[in-house]
Amino acid sequence: MITGGGRGIGAAIARALAEQGARVTLMGRTLAPLEEQAGALREITEVHCERADVARPDSVDAAFAGAVARLGRVDILVNNAGQALSAPFVKTEFSLWQQMLDVNLTGVFLGTRAVLPGMLEAGWGRVINVTSTAGQKGYPYVSAYCAAKHGVIGLTRALALETARKNVTVNAVCPGYTDTDLVRDSIANIEAKTGRSHAEALAELTRFNPQGRLIDPGEVANAALWLCLPGSEAITGQSISVCGGEVM
């Protein structure tokens, strides 16, 4: 089960899991991109779509209950849904702060809460939280986003200890700036606010990466897939950087 599964990193992880034979449920706020992605995957595996707003408990509970009723328990949960809004700290309104916490942190809590009892009962499960290098370090003008992503890593570590003897692993995958719609929106925002060219705005983001580039979503998907495959059982409570050496 993959939240935010209709595009970007979520879509890449969905394909990686599907190619290994997993049945996949894609979740998101809008069905159209989910169905488009599902159509591309149905030649490979069984795929379903569920509309869910990860920031709303009632929406998450209903969507996850529907998926479980259709397919049985959830063995793999990928908490990928996220949102990034920027503002200088002194101009960060409470509504922006709360939105970043609701989507990026509370959404992980709600999704995991919905599936963990079934994993514990079955004696097997994999929870993968797609966070960000913003959960491992600071970036200017995204303090609320950084705080939420740091919270996800803290939750990951605490939950990994609770489930360590239950054959359930909990890990975070932390991409640097990745070639997704979210980052393209950030580039457009830099252009609009600063008057810089597209190339200059892109360079502002890639300068953080020692390799001097954006991460490909498939690279993040490969890391997530590895955490689900045999041989990774000892990996839990980790924050795995996929960032070209930005975080060491």
**Three-state SS across 82-107?**
CCCCCECHHHCCHHHHHHHHHHHHHH
Q: At what angle do helices 181-194 and 198-206 cross, to 10 degrees?
A: 120
Q: Does the annotation mark 139 as catalytic?
A: no
- Please state the rounded mean pLDDT for residues 191-213: 89
Residue 70's pLDDT band, with cuts at 50, 70 and 90, is confident
**Distance between CA atoms of 205 and 150, rounded to whole angstroms?**
20
Strand pairing of 47-51 and 24-28? parallel
More confident residue, 53 or 187: 53
Residue 127's pLDDT band, with cuts at 50, 70 and 90, is very high
**Distance between CA atoms of 43 and 20, rounded to whole angstroms?**
13
- Whether residue 220 is predicted with pLDDT greater than 80 in this model: the reply is yes
* pLDDT at residue 20, as a whole number: 97
Please tell me whether residue 225 adopts helix, strand or coil conformation: helix
DSSP state of 49: E
Residues 6+ apart with CB under 8 A from 230: none
**Distance between CA atoms of 117 and 104, rounded to whole angstroms?**
22
Residue 200's pLDDT band, with cuts at 50, 70 and 90, is confident
Which of 92-101, 161-170, 180-189 has the weakest average pLDDT? 180-189
Residue of 139, 141, 145, 177 with catalytic role: 145
Say how far residue 61 (Cα) sits from the centre of its chain. 18
pTM of structure: 0.94
